[in-house]
Amino acid sequence: MSEIISIIKNHMGVGFVSVLFVMSLAYLIFAEKDKAKRCLFVHVPLILLAAFLCPISLKIYAKVSGSITYYRLLWLIPVTPVIAYAAVRVVSEIKGFKQNLCIAGLALLFAVSGRLIYTDIYMVDAVNIYHMPATVVDICDALHVEGREVKALVPDEMQQFVRQYDPCIHIPYGREYMMNMFLEEDELKNEMEGERRPYEVGILATQRGCHYIVVPWYQRFDTLPEYYEEYTIIDGYIIYKNVLLSTEVGKLQNDDL
């Protein structure tokens, strides 16, 4: 049960939308008489809530898909329609100019009860048609070789974007490591996150077939990584290029090793 409560708490998040929903539901339980509307706004939400709160539902769900997505059962409850419909019923009881005032007041209440999506810290201005950070676009364009795939070791902040923008650029380890989805150790990642010894990084990156290593300028290596040379600097990132691995079209990745 504690797991269900914590899922509900996470789903409720900030604000009072869940409180508004409960109040609207309580109001409609007493006020709504139409059979079909009562089914949609009262019976269905109550049955779904009861099912969601039942630990057996969680057990079954967790067996099939894992409990991490159990919150999706709450998507079945029509939260927004219930609140909006109850609000319309309330304002319908008021006549004349007061009704318009009441509508505006309720809209304001809804606004302060939730949070404007455009104020979210992860919501940023789009700087190009791809909605990708400009640095990622510039660096990927510099690494791209027409007609073949290349592999690049990129910093963590770029990992989620590189292959969205250019699937021809492979990376040695991806977002699954940032999310701790794998327990297996990755030597190259450990080295990059740990001591960042140029010799070891160069050897490991070459063994993994990385044609390029991209690091922020302020994290550049004191000496060149083994088998790598300085290639270029773009948008505050320094790119090292492997001297053994060919990026020529038609050559296999490790053919020069």
Partner 1 sequence: MTEGILITIALEILFPVLAGFIFALPEKEDTLPKSVFLAKAYTSGQIVLFALFQPLMVFAILKKMEFSRASRFYLIGSLVLIALMIVLMIIKMRDRIKSVLKSPFRKVSFWGILAFVSIAFMIVMSFFKTYMDGDDAYYVSTATQTASSDTMYLTDPYTGDASLFQYRYLLAPFPMWISMLSRFSGIRAVAMAHTFFPWSMMLLAFSVMYILAYELFDAKARKADIFMFFGSILIMFGDYSIYSPENFLLARSRQGKAALASFVIPFLTVLLFTAVKEFDKKKKLSLPKYLLIMLTGFAGALCSTLGGALCVALTCVFALCIMIRYRKLLTPVLMALCSMPCLAFMVLYILRR
Window 193-232: residues binding partner 1 (CB under 8 A):
none
3-state secondary structure of 143: helix
Residue 30 binding partner 1, by CB under 8 A:
no
27 binding partner 1? (CB under 8 A):
no
- Token pair of 171, please? 């990376």
Choices 5-13, 190-198, 223-231, 240-248 (CB under 8 A): range interacting with partner 1: 5-13
For partner 1, give the closer residue by CB, 115 or 230: 115
Does residue 162 contact residue 136 with C-beta atoms inside 8 Å?
yes
In three-state secondary structure terms, 238 is: strand
**Smallest distance, partner 1 to C-beta of residue 24, A:** 11
Site for partner 1 in 85-114 (CB under 8 A): 85, 87-88, 91-92, 103, 106-107, 110-111, 113-114
Query: Closest distance between partner 1 and the C-beta of residue 222, in Å?
Result: 28
Q: Are the beta carbons of 109 and 19 closer than 8 angstroms?
A: no
175 vs 251, beta carbon nearer partner 1: 175
Nearer to partner 1, 104 or 233 (CB): 104
Counting Cβ atoms within 10 Å, is residue 206 exposed (0-12), middle (13-18) or buried (19+)?
A: buried
Rule CB under 8 A: is residue 122 a binding residue for partner 1? yes
Q: Of 12-20, 197-205, 220-228, 239-247, which segment contacts partner 1 by CB under 8 A?
A: 12-20
User: Angle formed by the axes of helices 17-31 and 2-12, to 10°?
Assistant: 100
| Minimum gap (Å) between residue 68 Cβ and partner 1 | 11
Closest approach of partner 1 to the CB of residue 92, in Å = 6
The reply to whether 241 sits near partner 1 by the rule CB under 8 A is no
Distance, in Å, from the CA atom of 64 to the CA atom of 140, rounded to the nearest integer, reads: 39
Spatial separation of the C-alpha atoms in residues 150 and 160, rounded to whole Å = 17
- 49 with 29: CB under 8 angstroms? no
Residues of span 37-76 touching partner 1 by CB under 8 A: 37, 39-40, 43-44, 47-48, 51, 64-65, 69, 71-76
- What residues numbered 167-186 form the site for partner 1, per CB under 8 A? 167-176, 178-179
* Choice between 136 and 198, CB closer to partner 1: 136
Q: Is 29 a binder of partner 1 (CB under 8 A)?
A: no
Min. distance of Cβ 147 from partner 1 in angstroms?
A: 12
User: Helix/strand/coil (H, E, C) string of 12-68?
Assistant: HCCCCHHHHHHHHHHHHHHHCCCHHHHHHHHHHHHHHHHHHHCHHHHHHHHHHHCHH
Q: How far apart are CA 195 and CA 172, in angstroms?
A: 18
Could you say whether residue 159 binds partner 1 (CB under 8 A)? yes
Task: Give the pair of three-digit tokens for residue 158.
Answer: 């770029």
